[in-house]
Structure 1
């Protein structure tokens, strides 16, 4: 485990920074690809000294000192991705949190997405090589995870087909659902954070489905969680979508035929817009979408944990969201006992931006008007900005840009 003040890694330019590959183990033993973004500043992980009684500080002076020591601990942020979205998509945002706000950031691919494929030999090798090193140094000579596939040059020699057959997609026959993401994968991510940073305050950024699954967790995993930021966490109930008839056709008519033919959801293979998904994940997504209370309609057994979830929540959604621009408050209503604020933003009127949509918050174009204002205010100071304040800050950002 890292010491109280780990030596800062060598400073690198943001454009060349490569996060440290890690392996996360889901509750059922499935290996997940993850990445660890370490800040250039010292990482403070030692617990505050609780002088006085066994229960903590015994007077106000000691209590104030204890609070300051706790505040000095390095925060750990978990970023949980949207459906059919790889962890690499959040690179710039994770880099901002780690290199500019001094936080440790963990990203990961859910099972069946990105590099978290079944029987991934690289993940198995990396796990075996790091089992005895809780936090391997950034300069480790361990082999990196395989790079994203790129197009083959015209004159390059193409790999020969084995036995004259096209290589089988690893998702064919692979059984996985969104429920697995919530009850197996995400607890494994929290376990990693709790193991390596047991005393550090934790923050959580959930994008779309990454927010849906969080309240399903037992409080054992979220015991160090201080605050949660939801981005575009809206309902995918077909009736609430901006184009409900198209969504119904997509979920329940067209996609089942395509998925049956391919054996998985060919988001990238066929359309090139989303990542490929295990067939069960898409079927789970569509099943939840048939209920007005979305995931709680499909999995009512989650309701007790949703009712018990009390971590403060701040949710941002956008009026030009292609999936659903109005249903974010409905999701927040399913978490009734958490202190929460849900803010809808119009990109043109509030931010002077052409588009944000479902994915655009994590583009660098939102850095000045949202990351450095609303995100900083919430994750660092614990203040949830209202719509008017965000608009005012966006106007100031435009003014500074013109200077």
Structure 2
């Protein structure tokens, strides 16, 4: 069963979310943290799968995205830092209120996994697992894709922000239209020393990347030009204290033509999803420091 719910962030911003209630006996609760510019409906089939395995699930739209856009996009003040420091923590707190005293997990897709270290309440998670999360550094991307990425980041984003007051990323197949602050930080971080790390001491004054010790698993696809091996290694290094492990998925090994950066959450890739629940099953009994 799924129902629409509203979340209120610490700064008063209201977000739209969907709560998936399992019919099976409850094993734990999962927050799905979305990729940049991706609406929560994209993860519905995956959330329903988790429900069938006995997990309650919460999906949500970050501020400025989907149904969480409650102003003109050009007036939206959202940025990546506010997603990590305000939106994701509010979603986790809501999940805890709906299902108290459970082991809590987070599934991060791309940005959703990169921003976990910004959450002041991330220590309440029993573990987190990411797909397609990496530093996003342009310099590490394959040459052919790097040209496309440079065009989007360093030409399309600045020009679109200048002309429209936001980034029309939907024009180039990059998800929903983005608030200019989100797109600007995305550009800066991917051009710099890597996602998030570039902003330490500048846009980011406080974070938990060094101190977060909860277990994590990082999954990337061999055919993902963005979250490639080098960028994965860079991002995992930012989470210095996490007990992290990683794996690379080869589409042919699962009878798939493609996984890339987005198709892990497609219904066609459902055979991959037990990788998530098998990881959760290792951490179903929260330790005292998470209570």
Output one character per residue of 1:39-93: Cα deviation in whole Å (capped at 9) or x when no partner. Answer: 01355xxxxxxxxxxxxxxxxxxxxxxxxxxxxxx31100000001000000000
Alignment of 1:140-155 (within 5 A): none
Which residue of structure 1 aligns with residue 23 of structure 2?
A: 40
| Structure-2 change in CA distance of 1:96 and 1:311 (3 Å) | same
Give the Å deviation of 1:322.
3.8
Counterpart of 1:224 in structure 2 is 124
More strand by share: 2
The structural deviation recorded for 1:175 is: 1.4
What is the rounded CA distance, in whole Å, between the counterparts of 2:266 and 2:69 in structure 1?
26
1:141-191, Cα deviation, whole Å (9 max, x unpaired): xxxxxxxxxxxxxxxxxxxxxxxxxxxxx2022211011101111111122
Does 2:6 align with 1:27?
no
SS at match of 1:39: coil
- How far apart, CA to CA, are the structure 1 residues paired with 2:235 and 2:243? 14
Distance 1:246 1:41, change over 3 A: closer
- 158, 162, 182: which one aligns with 1:260: 162
Residue among 290, 299, 308 paired with 2:200: 299
2:184 pairs with one of 283, 287, 304: 283
Q: Which residue of 2 aligns with 1:115?
A: 67
Cα offset, 1:334, TM superposition: 0.8
- Write the deviation string for residues 74-130 of structure 1: whole angstroms up to 9, x where unpaired: 3110000000100000000000001x21111000000000100125xxxxxxxxxxx
CA contact (8 A) 1:296 1:302 kept: no
Structure 2 distance, partners of 1:208, 1:375, is 15
| 1:193 shift after superposition | 2.0
What does 1:91-170 correspond to in 2, within 5 Å? 91-98=44-51, 100-119=52-71, 170=72
Q: Residue 222 of structure 1: CA displacement?
A: 2.8
Q: Which residue of 2 aligns with 1:90?
A: 43
Normalising by structure 1, what TM-score?
0.66
Structure 1 distance, partners of 2:199, 2:233, is 19
Please provide the CA RMSD for this pair. 1.9
Is the 2:216–2:245 Cα contact (8 Å) retained in structure 1? yes
Change (3 A) 1:257 1:193: same
Partner of 1:359: 262
Contact 1:75 1:202 in 2 (8 A): yes
Match of 2:282 in 1: 381
Q: Secondary structure at the match of 1:211?
A: helix
**More deviation in 352-361 or 194-203?**
194-203
Instruction: Report the alpha carbon displacement of residue 295 of structure 1 after superposing the two structures with TM.
Output: 0.8
Could you tell me how far apart the structure 2 residues matched to 1:184 and 1:304 are? 12
Q: Do the aligned partners of 1:216 and 1:302 also contact (CA within 8 Å) in 2?
A: no
Q: Cα distance, 1:217 vs. partner? A: 1.8
TM-aligned CA distance change 1:111 to 1:377, over 3 Å? same
Distance 2:25 2:256 in 1: 36
The TM-score normalised by the length of structure 2 is: 0.90
CA contact (8 A) 1:200 1:224 kept: no
- Give the Cα separation in 1 of the matches to 2:8 and 2:213: 26
In 2: Cα distance, 1:336 partner to 1:266 partner: 35
* 207 and 27 in structure 1: CA distance in 2 versus 1, 3 angstrom threshold: same
Rate the CA distance shift 1:272–1:346 in 2: closer, same or farther, 3 A: closer
Distance 1:216 1:274 in 2: 23
Report if aligned partners of 1:347, 1:353 keep a CA contact under 8 Å in 2.
yes
Q: 2:247 aligns with which of 343, 346, 362?
A: 343
Q: Extract unaligned runs of 5+ from structure 2.
A: 285-291
In structure 1, runs of 5+ residues without a counterpart are 1-16, 44-73, 120-169, 384-403
Which protein has the larger Cα radius of gyration, Structure 1 or Structure 2? 1
Alignment of 1:249 with 2:151, yes or no, is yes
Aligned residues: 279
Bigger drift between 303-312 and 206-215 goes to 303-312
1:304, distance to aligned residue in structure 2 (A):
5.3
Q: Secondary structure at the match of 2:219?
A: strand
Give SS of 2:150's match: helix
